[in-house]
Amino acid sequence: MKGKYIKGKSITYDGTQLRSHYAFTEHDVQGDSVVAFRGPCRVGVDDLVDLEDRKKRAAIYSEEMAHFIVELFGRGLDLTLAVQRLLLCVIKDVIEELKPELFINRRGDDLYIEVEVDEGEEENRKLTVSVATASPVSTLIHTGINISSRNTPVPTLGLDDLEIPVDDFILKVLQGFVNEIKGMELARCKVRAVT
């Protein structure tokens, strides 16, 4: 597993990045990989991979997100869905390491923080969007974490709201995720067979 942060360049995520060999053709990262970048998110209804969201006509928009594109070769969609949730757990761990006073709730492939909106009233604010899918040669994951929460179509929080330094956050997530995948690869090579 290789990781790369495309630092200093804003890339708008519009769904076209969720394709085979994106990391290799655009960023010279070949094989199992996770590529991270910052930029807006604008995915129209016709470009949504999630069919539930598409039926609801729930386009995705954020003024700025931290994006992670994962590509795995030789893995099925079932395993990739588990890896997607592992990525969300790493993201949750990094945020809680940087802001230990926060309680983040993971529901499936989404992260939320409960905030008080009025006295005695609380609301879940969404931090992430995420989807996993398959191509003819690989499986793919996109996970985006709001940096800005302005003008989003649903109630959100972003890294700016939480006063989390974005570059630091991205590098910690990349390193944590790559370490988890490498650890899994080593774990399967150190056990003996049982009968």
88-142 pLDDT, tens digit each = 999 999 999 999 999 899 999 999 998 877 787 888 899 999 999 999 999 999 9
Name residue 143's amino acid. T
The total number of structural domains that make up the chain: 1
Domain contains 50: yes
Domain contains 70: yes
Q: What is the pLDDT of residue 189?
A: 92
Domain contains 89: yes
Domain contains 160: yes
Cα–Cα distance between 144 and 156 in angstroms, integer?
Answer: 12
Domain contains 39: yes
Residue ranges making up the domain that contains 179: 2-187
**Residues 12-48, buried b or exposed e (16+ Cβ, 10 A)?**
ebebebbebebbeeebebeebbbbbbbbbbebeeeeb
Domain contains 194: no
- Which residues in the chain land under pLDDT 50? none
Q: What is the pLDDT of residue 27?
A: 97
Q: What is the pLDDT of residue 133?
A: 96
Domain contains 195: no
151 Cβ contact partners less than 8 Å away, ≥ 6 residues apart = 61, 63
Domain contains 193: no
**What CATH number has the domain bearing residue 113?**
3.30.930.10
Q: What is the pLDDT of residue 60?
A: 87
**Residues 116-137, buried b or exposed e (16+ Cβ, 10 A)?**
eeeeeeeeebbbbbbbbbeeee
Name residue 186's amino acid. L
